[in-house]
């Protein structure tokens, strides 16, 4: 997967492995079918015995069925492992609200009675610092821990949006009056950028997402000092 963005999250590593796994089957099928067609062409011109075609037809039906079963099993395992609430996490829930045209984040279930909620807007051009990305930097980032599970719960206050961060393989639809959840696991600390990937209006391209992955102790200190 050298042509893909570098994998960061655990789910992204699994998706990239599944991609390479399927590519291996595709190349194998291409080579086998191409070889069979070549042999059939050669035998046809040497007066092929047509009775053997039944064996070939049976083989060409059985092998693709077996391959589809293998791919389907891995696909279902990946689908269920990246969906909603399939196991208990250590206690962090990050709730995400989409608006026209900014994001709001709320932290809860961190063994504390109070809840933290704040808005995240795109940084104006005049406020950018050296190293900031134009149209991708925000005033307040979403902070999540590394090497620990967290749940993102995403919804919208107005119309359809989409919370999308390609490097960690996150793309969650934000629908009004509906909660969509996704387990998030990031293994490498750093800053990860995304944008709304739904056409949500005239300022669709001005609601970026920045997730900062840090240690659990740094996250707890940040929550206390906020």
Could you list the pLDDT tens digit for every one of the 226 residues in the chain? 456 666 666 666 777 778 788 888 888 888 887 887 777 777 765 554 555 566 767 777 787 888 888 888 878 877 776 665 544 545 588 999 999 999 999 987 555 555 788 999 999 988 888 888 999 999 999 999 887 778 889 999 988 999 998 888 788 999 998 999 888 888 888 899 999 998 888 999 899 999 999 988 888 888 777 7
pLDDT score recorded for residue 86 = 47
pLDDT at 23: 84
Predicted local confidence at residue 1, as pLDDT:
44
Indicate the DSSP class of residue 166. G
Identify the CA nearest to 90 among candidates 113, 117, 107, 110: 110
Prediction pTM value: 0.69
Alpha-carbon Rg for the chain in angstroms? 24
> H helices of 45-136, where?
53-81
Q: Residue 14: which of 66, 64, 76 has the closest Cα?
A: 76
pLDDT, position 7? 61
pLDDT score for 207: 94
Cα 9 to chain centroid, rounded: 9
For 157, other C-beta atoms within 10 Å of its C-beta total 13
- The rounded distance, in Å, linking the Cα atoms of 10 and 14 is 6
3-state class of 89 per DSSP?
A: coil
CA dihedral 115, 218, 211, 4 (to 10 degrees): -150
Say what the pLDDT of residue 37 is. Answer: 74
């Amino acid at each position: 997967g050298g042509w893909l963005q570098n994998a960061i999250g655990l789910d992204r590593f699994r998706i990239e492995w599944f991609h390479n796994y399927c590519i291996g089957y595709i190349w194998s099928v291409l080579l086998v079918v191409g070889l069979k067609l070549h042999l059939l062409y050669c035998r046809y011109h040497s007066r092929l015995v047509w009775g053997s075609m039944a064996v070939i037809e049976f083989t060409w039906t059985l092998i693709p069925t077996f391959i589809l079963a293998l791919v389907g099993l891995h696909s279902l395992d990946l689908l269920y492992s990246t969906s909603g609430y399939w196991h208990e996490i250590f206690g962090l829930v990050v709730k995400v609200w989409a608006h026209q045209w900014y994001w709001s984040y709320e932290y809860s279930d961190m063994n504390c009675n109070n809840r933290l909620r704040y808005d995240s807007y795109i940084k104006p051009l005049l406020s950018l610092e050296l190293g900031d990305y134009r149209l991708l930097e925000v005033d307040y980032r979403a902070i999540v821990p590394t090497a620990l599970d967290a749940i993102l719960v995403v919804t919208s206050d107005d119309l359809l949006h989409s919370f999308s961060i390609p490097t960690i393989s996150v793309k969650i639809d934000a629908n009004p009056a509906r909660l969509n959840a996704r387990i998030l696991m990031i293994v490498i600390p750093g800053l990860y950028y995304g944008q709304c990937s739904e056409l949500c209006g005239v300022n669709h391209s001005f609601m970026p997402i920045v997730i900062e992955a840090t240690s659990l102790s740094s996250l707890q200190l940040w929550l206390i000092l906020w």
